[in-house]
Amino acid sequence: MKTSDFDYALPPELIAQTPAEPRDQSRLLVLRRSDGSMEHRRFSEVADFLRASDVLVLNDTRVIPARLRGRRGSGGRLEILLLRRLEPGLWEALVRPSKRIAVGERVEVEGGGAFVEVLERKDEGVRLVRIADEALVDSLGQVPLPPYIRDYRGDRERYQTVYSREKGSVAAPTAGLHFTPELLGRLRDKGVEPVFVTLHVGLDTFRPIREEDPRQHRIHHEFGVLSPEAAAALARARVDGRRIVCVGTTAVRLVEQAAVKSGRPEEVQPFQGWVDLYILPGHRFRLVDAMITNFHLPRSTLLMLVSAFAGQDLVQQAYAEAVRERYRFYSFGDAMLVL
């Protein structure tokens, strides 16, 4: 297995720069693992493929205003992107330009009232920083968008799911961006059981895989919570033989981590802690029966996870079909339902 096995050519104009309006009017590629068939639909029609007994796992994390503009004592400006909260006031952060910032330096956040102190150098521009008054981040920071979204000037709430509530992510769980309150209501009326979990999206969203052997890549851990209620719902579904449908790779990683920790899927235990499960082809899925996902970057851990679930060859065929049919890719792009 090589990282280059998960590469593909994408015309730049297929990278979505704006979200679909309304949310559920994005396109949906339905991919069936049983026979390799594909079907082109709208996301608003996803209920046609879900059963009344299905459990729908949704990541309710909320993107924080993690992008801070700073000014050094010398007057120079820099950008601080908060990546992962280790404890109150203590964060891992990307600092740009990183070469100019020294350990021990204090940076004033533009807007006034908050200071960031650099405590330690880590790898690839990452620094350990302390924020003197963390509560000010909400008013001084900006919600970050991925670097491939170049000039979006619309409502930043469109980069949040309609069910987001637990603050902590630096990037959205984008497979959930397609749901509207009305669509979720129709699914509940059909009998689909929503189960909310939390996984805060962190550094690995921004890190490319540079190693040619993907098994040598070090995946960063992200904080997740599977509540006792959510764990019980998943355990009941498994015992009853009902399908568990995960919305997004983040939900997949969290529930699979919980299943690995518990040892027996029918006895899923509540989980709270760091999720470091790295899913590559060959992984034995214990809980996930179907997934909704966006189209991911080449050579990424997310594409490898989807390939582990659906099969590498079939995913390559699906991506080639999506390119031919001019689907929109990445965070603001279209979706795929893998059954």
Q: What is the pLDDT of residues 67-116, one digit of tens each?
A: 999 888 777 888 999 988 888 889 999 888 867 788 998 988 988 778 89
Strands (E) in 122-182, as ranges, are 126-131, 166-169
Express each pLDDT in 111-126 by its tens digit. Answer: 877 889 999 988 777 8
Q: Closest by alpha carbon to 93, among 82, 108, 103?
A: 82
**How far is the C-alpha of 259 from the C-alpha of 331, rounded, in Å?**
28
Q: 180-202 burial, b for 16+ CB within 10 Å, e for fewer?
A: eeebbeebeeeebbbbbbbbbbb
Q: What is the arithmetic mean of pLDDT over 312-326?
A: 98
Question: Which of the residue ranges 20-34, 77-91, 201-215 would you say has the lowest mean pLDDT?
Answer: 201-215
Q: Which residue has the higher pLDDT, 30 or 112?
A: 30
Q: Is 252 exposed, middle or buried (0-12, 13-18, 19+ CB in 10 A)?
A: buried
Owner of token pair 């594409």 = 303
Q: Which amino acid would we find at residue 279?
A: I
- CATH no. of 3-63+153-338: 3.40.1780.10
Tokens of 69: 């503009």
Those residues whose C-beta lies under 8 Å from the C-beta of residue 215, and which sit 6 or more positions away, are 1, 280
What pLDDT, on a 0 to 100 scale, did the predictor assign at position 50?
Answer: 98
Alpha-carbon span 37 to 151, nearest angstrom: 36
From CA 124, how far away is CA 162, in angstroms rounded? 33
State the CATH architecture for 67-140.
Answer: Beta Barrel (2.40)
> Mean of the pLDDT values across residues 39-56?
98
State the Cα–Cα distance between residues 29 and 46, nearest whole angstrom. Answer: 10
How far is the C-alpha of 329 from the C-alpha of 64, rounded, in Å?
23
The two structure tokens encoding residue 100: 């100019």
Task: Please tell me the total number of residues recorded for the chain in this structure.
Answer: 339
Min mean pLDDT across 51-65, 77-91, 229-243 is at 77-91
The predicted structure's pLDDT at residue 206: 61
Contact 89, 130 (CB under 8 A): yes
C-alpha–C-alpha distance, residues 95 and 253, integer Å: 28
pLDDT of residue 133: 83
| Domains of the chain, residue spans | 3-63+153-338, 67-140
